[in-house]
Amino acid sequence: MAERNSEPSVQERAGRPFPVSWDQFHRDCRALTWRLNEVGPFQAVIAITRGGLVPAAIVARELGLRVIDTVCVASYDHDKQGDLKVLKGISEQTAKLGGGTGKGLLIVDDLVDTGKTGRLVRQLLPDAHFATVYAKPKGRPLVDTYITEVSQDTWIYFPWDTALSFQPPIRDGAA
């Protein structure tokens, strides 16, 4: 455990590891886009950084959208959830496209967990459509469209945060 204080991290509380490969992530983003294609059209995609950047690029490609903006937030320092900070909002140009309330805009993030990030962005753009690839139960009510629900005690490992490594055989105690 990387000790910054004695509290278990969010990741440690979420005992079940759920590793996602690039292939799987790409497939899940395409599945998400099939659903979004029924809901649109959208004027622009807004990625919640940083995790939302990867699914936003894939979804924008599949929907033929070229206007992509970001809401830059920071809440987790690796696996410790701290205060949520909005480091950058959407541009004036994107705000105009959404009529000030986000109508016709598509917000994309990789996941909702507690819903803290999603709630904040929904407050900024109440009429936008909010899509995530994965959803945990606490955050799920905030999302309009998602693909896979995982339990609250799951920790999702994204391909951009991981690398291939040796695993001991299951017989020898591998998880």
List residues binding ligand PRP (CB under 6 A): 48-51, 74-76, 109-118, 139
Per rule CB under 5 A, is residue 55 in the interface with Mg ion?
no
Q: Which does 47 bind (CB under 5 to 8 A by kind): ligand GUN, ligand PRP, Mg ion, none?
A: none
Instruction: Tell me how long the chain is.
Output: 175
Given 23, 109, 127, 144, which residue is catalytic?
Answer: 109
Cβ proximity of 44 and 12 under 8 Å:
no
- Which residue in the set 58, 59, 106, 156 belongs to the binding site for ligand GUN (CB under 6 A)? 156
Catalytic residue list contains 127: no
Interface pick for ligand GUN out of 25, 130, 146, 158 (rule CB under 6 A): 158
Distance from C-alpha of 105 to C-alpha of 90, rounded to nearest angstrom: 11
Using CB under 5 A as the binding rule, whether residue 51 contacts Mg ion is answered as: yes
Angle at 154 between CA 18 and CA 122, to 5 degrees: 105
Is 127 assigned a ligand-binding role in the annotation? Answer: no
Q: From CA 135, how far away is CA 152, in angstroms rounded?
A: 9
110 assigned to active site: yes
158 binds, among Mg ion, ligand GUN, ligand PRP, none (CB under 5 to 8 A by kind): ligand GUN
Of residues 57, 74, 76, 84, which one binds ligand GUN by CB under 6 A? 76
Q: Kindly determine how many residues on this chain lie close enough to bind ligand GUN according to the rule CB under 6 A.
A: 7
* 144 is a catalytic site residue: no
Interacting residues toward ligand GUN by CB under 6 A: 76, 111, 113, 155-156, 158, 161
Which amino acids are annotated catalytic?
Answer: 109-110, 113
Interacting residues toward Mg ion by CB under 5 A: 51
